[in-house]
Structure 1
Amino acid sequence: MLKFNWKRLGLVTGLSLTLFAAGCGSDDESSDSKEGTSGEGESKEIELVYVEWDSEVASTHVIGKVLEDQGFDVTLTPLDNAVMWEAVANGEADGMVAAWLPGTHQSQYEQYGDQVVELGVNLEGAKIGLVVPEYMDVTSIEDLDKQADQTITGIEPGAGVVAASEKAVEDYENLSNWTVQTSSSGAMATELGSAIENEEEIVVTGWTPHWKFAKYDLKYLEDPKGSFGEAETIETMVREGLEEDMPNAYQILDQFSWTAEDMEAVMLEISDGAKPTEAAANWIEENQDKVDEWLKGVE
């Protein structure tokens, strides 16, 4: 049974739960039996934490379901960026598949990187930047003037893409009167959809993978000053001692790897109304060959 651990939400400041992110579905879905078994003598309780972006909702629910099917009692806990890293670093949580590097989570990595075990890349080609509808007559950040009421619609305070947007406001002289309006991932997506429906101007913080690129005709603005950095990877981090305590879980997490297209398929299904647990289960059923690669060597 995938469970949420809400006790830790009291630690989070500025975390906004979104309608389409991982919320209610996990608590009320349970099963009396589990497929597979965890190794003999291996702890069966495992907690994964994640920042509540659509991308990480998708990846965490997919790998959580895979672990559940192998007999683990899985708890999934949404947290603020910094608290997510801190929870893995201090051993309060067992791991995460939500580390955006080298730029988005740079400050968290600098603070906690030497206190976690790095299992490497689980998705390549991630990217952040400013995103606008294709119909807007701008191609570069340097083209921005008075569009969208000189407002960049952001997500949660403290998110790396928000910090990069604030840096862009400082880096580009033409953005000197612009503001970055923080909200949540869900609120940003809602405002984007509303603006596109009415063919209005809007500038949002964007990242790839994200379902909005599959649903809407969007474009990244060129970033000649490099405020948003280069392409990134999403990586897996676990607590120290996990390999000894849960060798099978460790191996599954170590072997977890998929593509942006895989992730966006799960995200789009969630955005269309499916529960994260349902979308994850559907993707696993349709991609068992990939899942089998993650399970190689598991006893």
Structure 2
Amino acid sequence: MALLAGCASGNGSKENGADKSIKLAYVAWDSEIASTYVVKEVLETKLGYNVEMLQVDAGPMWAGVADGSADAMVAAWLPTTHETYLKDNEGKLEDLGPNLDGTKLGLVVPSYMDVNSIEDLNGDAGESVNYTITGIEPGAGLMMKTEAVMEEYGLKDKWTLLESSSAAMAQALQDAYDKQEPIIVTGWTPHWKFAKMDLKYLEDPKGVYGQDEQIHTFVRNGLKDDQPEAYAFLDAFNWTPDDMAEVMIKIVEGASPEEAAKEWVEANADKVDAWLK
């Protein structure tokens, strides 16, 4: 499945020409908006690329890099969240390794709620939230894992996983938090919500969500030959959850993704220079 009809692998880019261009695919999660716009800023201002941003769902993001209608993504959550997408596209794209360590998935609640484990949801804890978990985009790896969690913990019959979006989930959480009301959401780290609110993950004693993960960079096959300069930078791109949080919080506080990325790149010249070496 191509991301854009008529897009061909390579896109006619010239490493030494004036028409250097690259397509970055990403999902509209706060974390991936932050990382992809920082990559875009470096590619454009430091390496002279024309960058096209392709905002899609997780499945099309993987498929687009695999079929060459996108050149790269810095938003692959492994080994658990996106393992299905990786299996579906095995051998069709190149893994450049992790660009961020220390991610986590799970069910998240405000710390003022008297519930600490997913196992507790089999009791009366669900009444206060109408037995509803507020989720994100349908088809996201986090949603698929949460469906598996509901099955494993015997919640399927009584509980509903509400399909939403990353932005709508965060807004619902913020609204409930401001009113000190109960809410359960699908959550992940890094995310700005943990800096803005006192939250906690529900314990997952069965380990369905998996352990801490990494976010990987993937590129289309052939990018190394077509655009070695961009490939080398993407291969070197690596930052921390704190770095990502700085960009996310600026966006939440009103900056555009472009502005937040530009500020971070300018303030972290040493890190950027290391990527470009």
TM-score strictly above 0.5: yes
Q: 1:42 to 1:234 in 2, by over 3 A?
A: farther
For residue 266 of structure 1, the aligned residue among 234, 241, 247 is 247
Aligned length: 262
CA contact (8 A) 1:43 1:245 kept: no
CA contact (8 A) 2:15 2:226 kept: no
Contact 2:28 2:55 in 1 (8 A): yes
Name which of 92, 95, 102 aligns with 1:115: 92
Equivalent runs, 1:45-60 vs 2, <5 Å? 45-60=21-36
1:97 is paired with a residue of what secondary structure? strand
Pick one of 16, 23, 27 that aligns with 1:40.
16
Q: Which runs of structure 2 are paired with 1:57-68 in the superposition (5 Å)?
A: 57-68=33-44
State yes or no: 1:187 paired with 2:164.
no
CA 1:56–1:191: 2 relative to 1, 3 Å:
same
2:274 maps to amino acid:
E
- Write the deviation string for residues 57-114 of structure 1: whole angstroms up to 9, x where unpaired: 0000001100001100011111111100111001111000000001111110001131
1:95-114 alignment, distance < 5 Å: 95-114=72-91
Alpha carbons of structure 1 residues 211 and 247: separation in structure 2 relative to 1, 3 Å:
same
Question: More deviation in 138-147 or 111-120?
Answer: 138-147
State the alpha-carbon separation in 2 of the partners of residues 42 and 274 from structure 1.
30
Amino acid at match of 1:59: S
Hey, which bits of structure 1, 4+ residues long, moved more than 6 A?
A: none
Compute the displacement of 1:39 (Å).
4.9
Inter-CA distance 57–108: structure 2 relative to 1 (3 Å threshold): same
Aligned to 2:114: 137
1:169/1:179 contact within 8 Å kept: no
CA distance in 2 between counterparts of 1:74 and 1:94 reads 10
Of the three residues 103, 109, 120, the one matched with 1:126 is 103
Alpha-carbon offset, residue 223 of structure 1: 0.1
Q: How is 1:200-219 mapped onto 2 (pairs within 5 angstroms)?
A: 200-219=181-200
The letter of the residue matching 1:128 is L
**Counterparts of 1:106 and 1:51, CA distance in 2:** 16
**In the alignment, is the contact (CA less than 8 A) between 2:4 and 2:69 conserved in 1?**
no
Q: How many angstroms apart in 2 are the aligned matches of 1:214 and 1:165?
A: 23
User: Gaps (5+ residues) in structure 1?
Assistant: 1-6, 10-37
Q: Which amino acid aligns with 2:268?
A: N
* Match of residue 133, structure 2, among 133, 136, 152: 152
Partners in 2 of 1:94 and 1:123 — Cα distance?
Answer: 20
Cα pair 1:58 1:280 within 8 Å, conserved: yes
In structure 2, distance between residues paired with 1:149 and 1:196? 17
Q: Does 1:89 align with 2:70?
A: no
Offset at 1:173? Answer: 2.7
Indicate the SS of the match to 1:113: coil
1:221-236 → structure 2 map (5 Å cutoff): 221-236=202-217
Aligned mate of 1:166, from 138, 142, 147: 147
Letter in 2 for 1:49: A
Task: Note the C-alpha offset of 1:174.
Answer: 5.3
One-letter code of the match for 1:225? K
Per-residue Cα deviation, 1:112-144 (whole angstroms, up to 9, x for no partner): 131001100000011100000010011111112
Query: In the alignment, is the contact (CA less than 8 A) between 2:94 and 2:221 conserved in 1?
Result: yes
State the match for 1:294 in structure 2: 275
- For residue 23 of structure 1, what is the aligned residue in structure 2? none
Matched to 2:233, the amino acid is: I
1 CA distance for matches of 2:245 and 2:167?
16
Choose from 25, 34, 53 the match for 1:76.
Answer: 53
CA distance in 2, matches of 1:173, 1:251: 47
TM-score normalised by length of structure 2:
0.91
TM-score scaled by structure 1? 0.85
Hey, what's the Cα distance between the residues in 1 that align with 2:187 and 2:224? 35
